[in-house]
Every structure is written in structure tokens, then in C-alpha cells.
A and B are shown apart, each in its own frame.
Chain A
């Protein structure tokens, strides 16, 4: 995996990929968060001209990642879809076809954006996890608020889209804390909230098409 940065947590090997995804080698699982399918279509429906290629490209990137990693499973940490107004017939058909053609099991943890769209999601060939998913030493949840009160697992969350701002650029990050990691949003058309600095152990910047950069010092907090 070109440009990946590998880590070992609880004896498991994880690769952070420059494409804002995480690969768990032992389970052959590719993990992404916050795909927000149909977001640009939601905007278009509201009379806001956002280019629609975002959807196609996000899906293509997922297909490529799954196949280049030969993953058996694609795990989406919530917010697979954005809003029902963007789930037009055309978009739904495209997503359905993509699910059918993907060469891996798809598991979606239900995020706040997914909840109102359960009917559509359950019509797709994928596994829905209502609250989260525990697997071995790891737990996967959408929102940090959904985590079990007591857990000695290392946890992974999505939801907040952590970013840092540097030289006018918005850079999504993998944010690692002592007990958990917050994943960057997968979709290109997602904003983000500033990285929570309290308790931060290490942050990694996925630089698309290049590599994962280890953040050695945080830029000043304005």
C-alpha cells in the first residue's frame, strides 16, 4: 500500500492510507467514516450548484481501495448517506449497483445522517449495525457519545470530521488519543471541525495520492 503508515495497536496491524481510509490487516477490513452519499445532490435540489461528480468519484475511490487492499470487508463508521433529499432515484440506483458490484462485504454503522434513511439502507445488500460493532480488541462507533460506558477496547469513531488548518488549507486528520481514534471524513465534499487538542497523542494527515504525513507539531491555534 503506497504511502501508507502502519501502526500496531493491541497487537493488531493497522495501515493509515493517504486516501482517508484505514486498513486492518488481521481482519482484512477497510475502514472509512462519513461518506455522505448524495450530499452534492442535496445541494443541487436546493438550488445550489455543487458539481455532482463528487458522488461518482467517492464511490470509485472506495472500489479502488477495496480492490487494491484485497479487503474482505468494507466498514463504514456511519453517515454513509447525507440526506433524503439527495437520495434521488438516480443516486439510489447508482449506490445500489455499486454495492452489488463491490467485491467485499459492506458493513455500515448507523450514523445520525443514516438514521432517517434506514428504509433505503436496509434495501441495500449490506449489513447494518444499529449502535456500533465490537470486534476483538477494537470497537467501532459513529459518534463518541454512542460508546459503551466502560470499555477496555481501543475505539474508532467518525462523526466530527477532524481537520487542521494550515496555510489556508483544510487538512483532514486521523486523530489518535490514548483510548480512541477519530477518523477523517472520507468524502471530498465534507467540511470539518478543528481537531480537539486535549489529550491528543498523535495526528496523521492523509495527503491524497501521496502519503500519510505524521504531524510533528500542531500549527498555532490562531
Chain B
């Protein structure tokens, strides 16, 4: 019956597709046609066009055309998207032409939210088109049925590849795609991406080492305009801080509740706080406003998203939770509070407005302190020049490989030599050596190098045929529950005493609170009542919300391209000031700075010394990012103390660093180009940085990905409690009993890579070594208030 219907259609499927486009009042774009042609030629590649330009249709119609002509069973098209919320939109976007064209196929979504009954059905028989996340895909591969299920797959599409590429999430997906190609050798891979610095290599990562990518880049002009809310009185505008509430009235006056608006913030705390402040200023907007961030209850988030689409909700204060592709064509205006710290991110967020093909987008930037005006100006200038940052890419992480090995053992099982060859086709692992592979295999098979200390350990083992398999169904179950590389802290449910659920919150935050302590969550001021197992019971707080506990959000360091741009702007600032209102505003501050000290040009390095009650300060302004300063400050302290004994406390932020000594210290004398030498850099870094504590930070993710710290256990919560150990505790235990453990090495390497992989620190040192040094003695610290900087461990020699 099905077959008959299709035969009757007779005419060329592409003609029908063209007709369908015409019926929608559209015409396929040139880049879409080109993509279809390449796909018909069985090629793979990357489609690289701005968000909202019609990538999805460029990727899927070849499959639809084929299905219009030949009936096929089994999974034909696998569509992977990094965001669960996105999958529903993609499903709808594909289902529409299918039903219009009378194509009777199954199109389904499978994510963590998919109902168990549908998941069971899918386990027996996957649909023709499956839309899923990288994690759900990894999960499918960990079942023994995987080989049979993916045998037929003709095409895999990876959406928003720029979000995944080079990170551990993307690398796990690379391994999964290598597995998929093993099951279905002819499968084509198409990655879809927005603004990206290095499309060729990004494409190679998606395709693996065996194919050469076709790159399709549409010249779609989607101009991004940055608009600024400038404080009336820059003089009295705070020089530090990140909430930016002094801008409240100005922002509220600028808002138009009649037009659909997103307000992006950088941390959840900031989102909560701004939501409350706007509500305080405009209580009448209560029903029209909503809050959206990663900790809010899933159902409330869905409610906010659909409210935004239907127009019931006009104003949403959010975090990066709404960064990605969910389509909100209704959104007319986008605000960004605080610097987004990167060029690509600004473009991405601006793109949330008028998410339609060919329309320009505008983002209104609200600075939270004076120097952010500089960051905004730099962002604008970079966007005008068409610059975007490239993201550092990890190389062959062992933790991701360890997880993949266990997944393979839980699925179809594996023979080591065969799997090794397959893994090397994943571009990120192309340099993996057999020795490294054996190490990781030993790690999951025996627990570690020293067998006697792991006598009770078991996880995977060889079956009589020599194939590695997972040892027990229960271990497979635990493993599957913890697949993936994105883990947050253990999350606890937040619930009212009466039972309404509000969302999830990190255990680490709650453990710092006592009964009766207040905190702001999900737009309400709450009072902690009791923690029961995995639930935090709260009630509404009657008291004012002033004394509240804030929870730490990760604040992003600014990107290298952006810091470069800031230095340029400082140089050109005098001329540019007339044309740029944000620079005119910050100019007030810069003029005062020039009077009291100096404004460094891009070939200069400014150092300020100062004496206060606290001691003797050196402020240094390389204008690189916090990450670089975090490495640079201890390095300089180390080199200083080789000349003269001293104890420093170090503080860094995105603009510079402070070295503070209680005793008098000859900073001026020792600040010479030699101090920035790159000779013996690696040794000096190791000697100066507390690598161990940095590695410990890095180890958290590694322990989770490797399965040393599991977040989820089936059923019996009792046992789960017996298996709780923090990553930092495990780190200590390993350091003590197995200091050469490979995962510790990886943690160290990742910690060092933060500085070395891009050799960013080295480039900074070279720049500083040849810079003209300006040293000023100042009466008190004023330019960059380090109140906001992160004080790092005291340096003692």
C-alpha cells in the first residue's frame, strides 16, 4: 500500500520538492542547492552559514528525495543536535514537508526526556529519521543492538557543530561517529555550523580522517549591530563589580514590554537578581516576564519557551541557557548585561533576535562597570572586521576514550586491535599510540597499573572468544546512566514544603547554607527549611531579600581576539572617541587615568606601584585574559623571588594583575624585559604554578567522564550513598597511592594546556618582553579595582 502510493507519484522527487518550496512561497537558496548536489554525489562536508539561514533544509532534503523514490526500512537519517530543546523544533521542521509531500515515514526524537514507552519501541526498531543529542546517541551505541540498528544509516547530520567541536562533548561524538561508520561504512556526514574560525579543520573533526570534506559557505549577510546603554555619569559608575544594577533605571526605561525581548546575563545569580530588580521597578509586568536558566525546573523552562513563542511572555531574563538555536522568530530585541567576553558569543546572542533568513540583528549592551564599555567597543570593532575567535581543541583525552571503551564493551563488544584502528579514524585521536590505548584499556579492565591494589575491581573483561564485554548487566546499567561528558555538580531538587517543584540546584551550594538562610532561586526569595535525601525543602521568605546567599557562577575569561582588540582600541581611542559614544563615555575615565598615571598604547606595558596600609603593590596591565594572567602572575612572582626573597599575594582579572608584598619590594628595579623571557618557561611554570591544585580542578571532569564519580545509580539510593566520593578526595587518594596514574597526568596536562595549547602565555610574554615599559608610582590604587579580581593562592618563596 505504502509502496503503491509512492510509485504512483512517478514524477521526479526533486521536482516535487521544488514545488513544495514554491507552495511555501520560498525558493531554495543557492547554498542549499549546492549542498543537495554534493550530497547526491555521496560526499560529506560542512555547511557553514549564519544561524537562522536554513541549514536544516540544506541537510535533510536529499534523504527525503531518496525516500520519495524508494521505500526503505530502518534508520536512514540520524540528526544530532546539542540541545534537547532544539530537537522538537527540528522534528517539526522535518515533519512538515514530509506530511505535505505524503511521505509516510517515522520521524522521532530521542533525548533524555523521551517517554520510556517510545524509547522501548525505538530500541526494537529505530524510526526512519531520528533526532537526538550526542549523549543519547552515545547511549544507543552502548546497547548490543547498535550494530543492527545503524546498519542501514545513510546520512548523519551534526547540527550546531561549532558548539561541540574540539570539546569533550564533540570528541565523544567523534568516537561515536567512528563507530557508526564501522557499522555503516557508506554513511555520509554533514556538519552544520554557525560562525566558526577554522571551518576546514572543524569539518575534518566531524568527518574523521578517511574523508575529505566539502565546505559550503553561503554569503548571507546577516549584519550584527551593537547598541549601547551608556551610563549618564561615567564618573560615578562603578569601576568593578558584575551585577550592574546601577543601570537598572536606564535599562527599564529602554525596555518595551510590547515587543518580545530577551535579556542575557552571564551568571544565574545575575539573572535572578536582574529579574527581581526589573520586577521591583515594573510590578505590573509580573505576568509578562519570566526567568530562564539551567537550574530552573524543566517544565517551567518549557513553559517559558512556549510562552515566548506564543507571545504570552514578552520579556525573558536568561543565561546562556537560551544561547543556542531554539527558534524564537518572535524575539525582536536582545539585551546583553555585562560583557559576553567573546565575539562569537555576542554574534550568537544577537542572532536570537529576528531569527529569520536575511534579516539583520541588533543587540543592546548594558555595561556593569566602566571598563566593560571598552570590552563592548572592542567587540563591536572585531565584529565589523569580521573576526571570530578560534576555540582551543583538546587532543586525545583519555577520560573520553575510557568512557567510550566501556560503552563499546557494553554494546557490541570489541577486539582491541580492531577498535584501536577504528578510534584512530576519529580525527582527535589520529595520533593515539598503541601504548596509550593499552594504558586506557588496562585502566578500564584492571583499574590501574598496580593489579594487587585493585583485587576487587571489575568492569570489562574478555569473553571466551577474546571479545571485551562489560562484566555484569548492573555495571552496564550504571555506565549507561552516566554516559556523556557534560556533568554538573550533583543536583538537588528544590521543592516547596507544600510540594511544588522549582528546579534543580547544586549540592555544593546548598551544603553551605543553614536552616533559615535565604537565597534567590527561580525568581523567588526562599528560605531553606530542610534537606531530605535529594530534595531541598524551602518556603517563601517573608523578609526582604537583601541578605541573600549568592551562588557562584563560572565567569568566562575574555577571549584572545577580544583582548587583542581592547589593546588596539586603547591605542586608537583618542581619534575614535568622536565617532563612538561608548568610547566617549569611557574617555572620561581614561583621561583621568592619563592624568594620574598613563593609558598604555598597544606597544606599551603599564606598571603601577603603590603603597597602602596593606603593603607594597605592583599593578601590571597586559590586557590579556584572566586565564593568561592566572599563569603570568605566579610566574612573575617566582622570577621576582629568585632575585629577592619575598611573599606575595596575587590577584588577577581580565585586564591585569596585582602583586602585593607586605614588605618593601624593589619592583621598579626588577621590572626589566628579562623578567618576561621565554627561556626556561616550561620549568619556571612548573616551579611557580600550583599545578597540583590546578590539576585538581581539572580532575573533577575527568573523574566523572571516566566513571570514577557517578552521578546516577539505578534504584537503590542506599548503595549510591556508599559510593559517594568527591573528585578532589579521589585526586588526593590517587596522588598518595598511585602518583603516576594516567588520569592524574591528563589532569595536569589539561591544566597546563590552558596556557600552552594555544601557547597564549608564550605569545603574551614575547609581547610584554618587547613592549615599552611605563612605570608610574601612584598615590592609591584606582584604575582597575581589584576588588573584583580573584585572589589566587599566596605565593611564598
Contact = CB atoms under 8 A, between A and B. Distances in A.
Contacts of B475: 46-47
Interface in B457-512: 457-459, 471, 475, 478-479, 511-512
B737 A49 contact: no
B279 interface: no
A68 interface: no
Interface stretch (A12-20, A102-110, A144-152, A187-195): A187-195
B38 to A, nearest CB: 44
Given A170-B732, A221-B512, A47 B456 contact: no
B708 A48 contact: yes
Interface in B769-797: 793
A168 B458 contact: no
B671 interface: no
Contact of A48 (B471, B723, B734, B738): B723
Contact of B730 (A50, A90, A193): A50
Given A46-B478, A54-B733, A189-B725, A222 B455 contact: no
A42 to B, nearest CB: 6
Interface in A77-126: 82-83, 85-86, 88, 90-91
A44 B723 contact: no
B703 to A, nearest CB: 9
A52 interface: yes
Interface in A3-53: 39-53
Given A49-B443, A90-B455, A167-B793, A189 B733 contact: yes
A161 B732 CA distance: 16
Interface string B707-720: 11010000000010
B516 to A, nearest CB: 11
Contact of B448 (A49, A90, A193): A49
A47 B693 contact: no
A39 B719 CA distance: 12
Given A83-B722, A90-B455, A193-B511, A51 B734 contact: yes
A190 to B, nearest CB: 8
Nearest to B708: A48
B457 A47 contact: yes
Given A52-B453, A52-B454, A43 B723 contact: yes
A199 B207 CA distance: 62
A188 B458 CA distance: 23
A129 B256 CA distance: 70
Given A45-B458, A51-B734, A53-B453, A168 B793 contact: yes
Nearest to B448: A49
Contact of B456 (A45, A53, A194): A45
Given A49-B708, A53-B737, A170 B723 contact: no
B9 interface: no
Given A83-B722, A189-B733, A170 B728 contact: yes
A87 B455 CA distance: 13
A83 B721 CA distance: 10
Nearest to A42: B722
A85 B719 contact: yes
A102 B314 CA distance: 73
A47 B455 contact: no
A91 B722 CA distance: 17
Contacts of B552: 222
B724 interface: yes
A86 B511 CA distance: 28
B450 interface: yes
Main secondary structure of the interface of A (DSSP, over half): loop
The winner among A48, A167, A188, A198 for most chain B CB atoms within 10 A is A48
Interface residues of B, number: 43
Contacts of B724: 191
B110 to A, nearest CB: 26
B445 to A, nearest CB: 10
A50 B724 CA distance: 12
Contact of A47 (B453, B511, B707, B737): B707
A194 B512 CA distance: 8
Interface in B679-712: 690, 693, 696-697, 707-708, 710
A190 B726 CA distance: 9
Contact of B693 (A39, A40, A45, A168): A168
A50 B511 contact: no
A153 B690 CA distance: 45
B385 interface: no
Given A46-B478, A52-B456, A191 B447 contact: no
A222 B549 CA distance: 10
Nearest to A82: B722
A170 B447 CA distance: 25
B643 interface: no
B23 interface: no
Nearest to B736: A188
Contact of A54 (B512, B697, B723, B737): B737
B380 to A, nearest CB: 36
B4 interface: no
28 contacts: A42-B722, A44-B456, A46-B478, A46-B723, A48-B708, A49-B459, A50-B708, A50-B725, A50-B733, A51-B450, A51-B453, A51-B454, A51-B737, A51-B738, A52-B454, A54-B737, A82-B722, A83-B722, A86-B456, A88-B456, A90-B455, A167-B793, A168-B690, A170-B728, A170-B732, A189-B725, A194-B511, A222-B512
Given A42-B723, A50-B725, 8 more contacts: A39-B722, A43-B723, A47-B471, A48-B708, A49-B454, A54-B733, A88-B456, A194-B512
